[in-house]
């Protein structure tokens, strides 16, 4: 479909110029013919010259030639008014997937040309940054995306770089364990799982061994960072939950693939510390800050956002990855989701936006924070994944007494389980998935750019979702449960009065969490609205974040035309574009019953430990 700009006759292409020449000579007078026509020729030549000297060409290296649609244009010539919403649908979902692939090629090719072999591209200044050890994190993070998109030449070039990797780091520096494990180790492992290329497994194993000194603590909880050359580790007293409990899938699969048991033993020791901690006053949910050497909580904050997110995510994913055999992990997941449903999911009074909050303090005096984080938008997908994989209405069939999970909790925690006894557990988890999915989607749709903010501050008038569910249930359960219906976008207005929230952190950081949930919700429900939401997000990303030098984070999602930050994080090619591609592709590509994605979107195959491996690795 022609773009809005093309329909206005701008930019002036050679074809359009020649058409105008013919019309002038056939229908115009001498003044127009001999004054305006030469002037238009000068404008055309100036436009072409400027496009080659300003660093902002009006044509795309990926698509080639002059653009036919706005999504083919690297630097969009923004109109004064924001684009209409919603955008037109794709011709087909296969076409949509192909467009995502082309955008990945555009983004990664820009990284290769400008920033490689450094970590990340700076798309505005056309530079690079080494913020993840200087080993080329964008390359390692993108390996499996290349493979899934069948970018064989690109992968071959990356393969040659992986062969040379030695993970050396100057003795004065340290590598952050969490980010290195999920991005570098996870990316290499996933590339091995998809391709079978032994070098990928060899390098993942090498790097994991170089990281292993972080586990040399009194409790077994890993330190924050390590120098992989000298083995020196940081000496922090505390560390956040996500940083200690987000290596288990990677390290378990690494042991399975290599036969080296050290990796899974390190990971399982962390699980045991968390399982044995006293969290009775938190409804059984793991707090955010931990004392490394004692292995006990250091605060009373609970969150599924920053600093806690991936640890909660991995409770379910580790259970699925290892063949659904670790009942203790499943019980931890059920306690976490029960506490979230009863205490941490809130709903606005008018638009019925269902959103997760963080809390501080022990029940029943815990106090909520009103921040809705983009990082927490993985939750709809996590809940949906649990509905697909777990017999939530018949947990006894796998040896779990749901009500008994609350027996060792505080009285307030025990009351949560009594409250949920009035519902089918699968309904609650499904409603939570759908409601939060709609909330995360509307945070995009409300904005002039069509992109979601990093954080929003929700209205003080929001109430606990479970309280509204109780009113609905006691009133006869008529109609759709509160918070589950689609949320209608409100555009052109802002603030608590219209949106029931205000923007707190205004940027769109090219994050993947909402799109990840759209993908999982589509795969688990086959409701086309999730694909449609994802398509709208994809078009907004291209329209607002694409540059001739890759993609750039958007400074303020409420501003039009958009301005940009000098950042293209590696997770954009690792996660955001991968999940979009999978959302629009067929289900035979990475089926969710056979693969589990780590928190950086690196898929690993589901497996089960053999009796021999259990004995060899000391697994119970």
Helices 309-321, 248-258: crossing angle, 10 deg rounding? 30
- For β-strands 371-373 and 455-458, DSSP reports them as antiparallel
Q: Are 425 and 417 contacting, i.e. CB atoms less than 8 angstroms apart?
A: no
**Confidence check: pLDDT of 70 > 50:** no
Mean pLDDT over residues 348-371, rounded? Answer: 97
The whole-angstrom separation of Cα 229 and Cα 582 is 38
What angle (nearest 5°) sits at the alpha carbon of residue 180, between those of residues 178 and 184?
A: 135
Reported pTM: 0.87
Residue 8: pLDDT band (50, 70, 90) is: very low
Computed over every residue of the chain, the mean pLDDT equals 90
Residue 516, burial from CB neighbour count under 10 angstroms (0-12, 13-18, 19+): buried
Residue 173 lies in a domain: no
Confidence of residue 79 (pLDDT cuts 50, 70, 90): low
CB 204 within 8 A of CB 182: no
For 97-149, write each residue's pLDDT tens digit: 999 999 999 999 999 999 999 999 999 999 999 999 999 999 999 999 999 99
Q: Is the pLDDT of residue 215 over 90?
A: yes
Over residues 271-283, the mean pLDDT reads: 97
What is the pLDDT at residue 78? Answer: 54
Domain hosting residue 35, numbered range: 1-69
In a domain, 469, yes or no: no
- Quickly count: other Cβ atoms within 10 Å of residue 2's Cβ: 10
Answer whether residue 7 is part of any domain.
yes
Number of domains in the chain: 1
* Better-scored residue on pLDDT, 207 or 8: 207
Quick one: pLDDT at residue 49?
A: 40
Angle at 318 between CA 316 and CA 322, to 5 degrees: 120
pLDDT of residue 559: 95
Please give the backbone phi and psi of residue 164, each rounded to the nearest 5 degrees, phi first.
Answer: -90, -5
Question: Tens digit of pLDDT for each residue in 312-345?
Answer: 999 999 999 999 999 999 999 999 999 999 999 9
- Position 441 scores a pLDDT of 99
| Residue 620 confidence (pLDDT) | 77
| 347 is a domain residue | no
Residue 440 maps to a domain: no
What pLDDT sits at residue 84? Answer: 80
Express each pLDDT in 553-572 by its tens digit: 999 999 999 999 999 999 99
Whether residue 468 lies inside any domain: the answer is no
Residue 41 pLDDT class (50, 70, 90 cuts)? low
Residue 617's SS3 state is helix
Tokens (6 digits) for 377: 């938008």
- What does the pLDDT read at residue 56? 31
- 19 within some domain: yes
Query: How is residue 418 written in tokens?
Result: 């009594």
8 A C-beta contact, residue 452 and residue 517: no
The residue assigned the tokens 């938190």 is 282
Report the C-alpha gap between 561 and 557 in whole angstroms: 10
Higher pLDDT among residues 6 and 546, named by residue: 546
Would residue 35 count as lying in a domain?
Answer: yes
Q: At what angle do helices 262-276 and 248-258 cross, to 10 degrees?
A: 150
Q: Band the pLDDT of 492: cuts 50, 70, 90.
A: confident
Give tens-digit pLDDT for 236-265.
999 999 999 999 999 999 999 999 999 999
Please check the confidence at residue 28 and state whether its pLDDT lies above 90.
no
pLDDT band at 431 (very low <50, low <70, confident <90, very high): very high
Give the H or E element holding residue 108. helix 93-114
**Inter-residue contact 304 to 379 (CB < 8 Å):** yes
Residues 369-395 pLDDT 10s: 999 999 999 999 999 999 999 999 999
């Amino acid at each position: 479909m022609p773009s809005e700009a093309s329909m206005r006759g701008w930019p002036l292409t050679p074809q359009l110029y020649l058409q105008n020449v013919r019309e002038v000579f056939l229908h115009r007078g001498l003044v127009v013919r001999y004054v305006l026509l030469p002037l238009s020729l000068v404008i055309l030549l100036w436009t072409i010259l400027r496009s080659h000297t300003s660093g902002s060409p009006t044509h795309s290296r990926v698509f080639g030639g002059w653009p036919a649609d706005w999504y083919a244009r690297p630097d969009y010539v923004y109109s004064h008014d924001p684009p209409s919403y919603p955008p037109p649908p794709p011709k087909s979902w296969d076409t949509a997937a192909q467009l995502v692939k082309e955008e990945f090629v555009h983004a990664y090719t820009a990284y290769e040309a400008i920033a490689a072999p450094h970590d990340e591209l700076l798309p505005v200044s056309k530079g690079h940054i080494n913020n993840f050890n200087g080993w080329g994190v964008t390359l390692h993070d993108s390996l499996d995306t290349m493979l899934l998109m069948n970018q064989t030449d690109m992968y071959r070039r990356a393969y040659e770089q992986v062969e040379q990797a030695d993970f050396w780091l100057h003795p004065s520096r340290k590598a952050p364990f969490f980010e290195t494990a999920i991005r570098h180790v996870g990316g290499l492992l996933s590339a091995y799982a998809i391709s079978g290329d032994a070098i990928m497994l060899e390098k993942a194993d090498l790097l994991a061994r170089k990281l292993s000194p972080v586990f040399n603590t009194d409790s077994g909880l890993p330190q924050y960072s390590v120098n992989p050359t000298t083995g020196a580790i940081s000496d922090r007293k505390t560390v956040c939950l996500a940083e200690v409990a987000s290596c288990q899938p990677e390290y378990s699969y690494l042991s399975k693939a290599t036969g080296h048991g050290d990796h899974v033993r390190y990971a399982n020791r962390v699980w045991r510390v968390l399982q044995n901690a006293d969290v009775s006053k938190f409804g059984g949910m793991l707090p955010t800050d931990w004392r490394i050497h004692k292995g006990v909580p250091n605060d009373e904050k609970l969150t599924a956002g920053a600093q806690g997110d991936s640890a909660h995510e991995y409770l379910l994913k580790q259970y699925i990855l290892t063949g659904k055999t670790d009942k203790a992990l499943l019980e931890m997941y059920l306690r976490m989701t029960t506490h979230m449903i009863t205490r941490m999911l809130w709903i606005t009074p008018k638009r019925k936006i269902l959103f997760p909050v963080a809390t501080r303090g022990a029940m029943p005096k815990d106090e909520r924070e009103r921040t809705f984080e983009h990082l927490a938008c993985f939750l709809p997908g996590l809940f949906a994944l649990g509905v697909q994989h777990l017999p939530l209405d018949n947990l006894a069939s796998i040896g779990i007494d749901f009500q008994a999970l609350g027996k060792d909790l505080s009285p307030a925690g025990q009351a949560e389980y009594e409250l949920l006894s009035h519902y089918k557990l699968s309904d609650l988890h499904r409603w939570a998935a759908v409601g939060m999915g709609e909330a995360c989607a509307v945070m995009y749709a409300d904005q002039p750019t069509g992109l979601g903010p990093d954080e929003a501050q929700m209205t003080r008038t929001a109430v606990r979702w479970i309280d509204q569910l109780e009113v609905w249930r006691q009133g006869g359960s008529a109609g759709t449960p509160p918070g589950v219906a689609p949320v209608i976008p409100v555009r052109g207005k802002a603030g608590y009065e219209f949106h029931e929230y205000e923007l707190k952190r205004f940027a769109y950081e090219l994050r993947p969490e909402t799109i990840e949930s759209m993908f999982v919700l589509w795969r688990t429900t086959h409701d086309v609205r999730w694909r449609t939401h994802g398509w709208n997000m994809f078009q907004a990303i291209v329209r607002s974040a694409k540059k001739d030098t890759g993609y750039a984070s958007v400074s303020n999602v409420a501003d039009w035309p958009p301005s940009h930050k000098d950042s293209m994080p590696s997770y954009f090619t690792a996660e955001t574009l991968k999940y979009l591609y999978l959302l629009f592709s067929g289900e035979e590509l990475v089926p969710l019953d056979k693969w589990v994605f780590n928190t950086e979107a690196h898929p690993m195959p589901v497996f089960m430990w053999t009796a021999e491996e259990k004995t060899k690795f000391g697994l119970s």
